Amino acid sequence: MKVSEALDTRITCRAYTDQPVEAEKINRILKSAARSPSGGNLQPWHVWAIGGEKLAEFRSIVQSKIVDNPFGDGATEYDIYPKELSEPYKARRAKCGEDMYASINVAREDKAERQKHFNRNFDLFGAPAAMFFAIDRQMGLGQWSDLGMYIQSIMLMAREEGLHTAPQEAWALWYKTIGEFLGIPDNLMFFCGMGIGYMDENAPINTLRTDRADFNEYAHIEGF
């Protein structure tokens, strides 16, 4: 698969088939993604990949806790978005949500149905495998960007293996539960989770193709 094809076909997949993910695919993906660049070659990423019974155990812990704790472990350890998000980002964020709910015919006023869909995050949208990412607390903005590159490499390699992914910051709400379950050391900060599996091609939610800002809004090309 060409890189451009991997980029074009990667979407946030929010419904999966039951087909398990082969262990060798997870290994190949993680080994290839380790070739991601990082400033000073620090390779500041930490990843836990879980599937099978381990993931079933995790799911059942979260599902039992969520009844009394719909907002997870309480506050997140980092701000998922800036507190005062300005334009054009605020509008982009709103549109992303509106387009997603439109793809499954959930009206703006239907708060209960929206909440129900949001909670699908905590079932990994039905993914049969998951990854969780963390970074050493001493790391700064540069290394967080390295972690992002690593995660993108995983998502592109997943495409090469016929798999789809859903990166999920929503899991930041469950950082304590995840840390305890996976044994993430205290010196690491949990960043995000990711569902991984085979896409349910018939699910309406997977028809969503998010738009992108006009090229000229962010790209500055001169001197060519």
Nearer to ligand FMN, 23 or 213 (CB): 213
Return the percent helix, strand and coil in the chain, to nearest 5: 50, 15, 35
Nearer to ligand FMN, 173 or 184 (CB): 173
> Which of these ranges, 45-53, 162-170, 199-207, 214-222, lies near ligand FMN under the rule CB under 6 A?
162-170
Alpha-carbon torsion angle 47, 134, 15, 7, nearest 10: -80
CA atoms within 13 A on the CB side of 1: 16
Residues 56, 159 contacting (CB under 8 angstroms)? no
Q: To the nearest whole angstrom, how small is the minimum distance from the Cβ of residue 194 to ligand FMN?
A: 8
Selection from 213, 8, 174 nearest residue 93 by Cα: 213
Is 167 an interacting residue with respect to ligand FMN (CB under 6 A)? yes
Handedness of CA 69, 70, 72, 78 (dihedral sign): negative
Per-residue binding letters, 63-92, with ligand FMN (x by CB under 6 A):
------------------------------
Distance CA 170, CA 77 (A): 12
Is 206 an interacting residue with respect to ligand FMN (CB under 6 A)? no
Residues 6 or more apart whose Cβ sits within 8 Å of residue 76: 172, 173, 175
Footprint of ligand FMN on 6-25 (CB under 6 A): 11-12
Query: What is the number of other CB atoms lying within 10 angstroms of the CB of residue 169?
Result: 14
Q: To the nearest whole angstrom, how small is the minimum distance from the Cβ of residue 15 to ligand FMN?
A: 11
Is 210 an interacting residue with respect to ligand FMN (CB under 6 A)? yes
Is 154 an interacting residue with respect to ligand FMN (CB under 6 A)? no
Distance CA 51, CA 127 (A): 9
Q: To the nearest whole angstrom, how small is the minimum distance from the Cβ of residue 148 to ligand FMN?
A: 7
Nearer to ligand FMN, 22 or 182 (CB): 182
> Which of these ranges, 21-29, 49-57, 103-111, 166-174, lies near ligand FMN under the rule CB under 6 A?
166-174
- The DSSP secondary-structure symbol of 19 reads P
Among 143, 153, 168, 177, which residue interacts with ligand FMN (rule: CB under 6 A)? 168
Selection from 59, 49, 54 nearest residue 151 by Cα: 49
Nearer to ligand FMN, 49 or 192 (CB): 192
Is 106 an interacting residue with respect to ligand FMN (CB under 6 A)? no
**Site for ligand FMN, rule CB under 6 A:** 11-12, 96, 121, 167-170, 192, 210
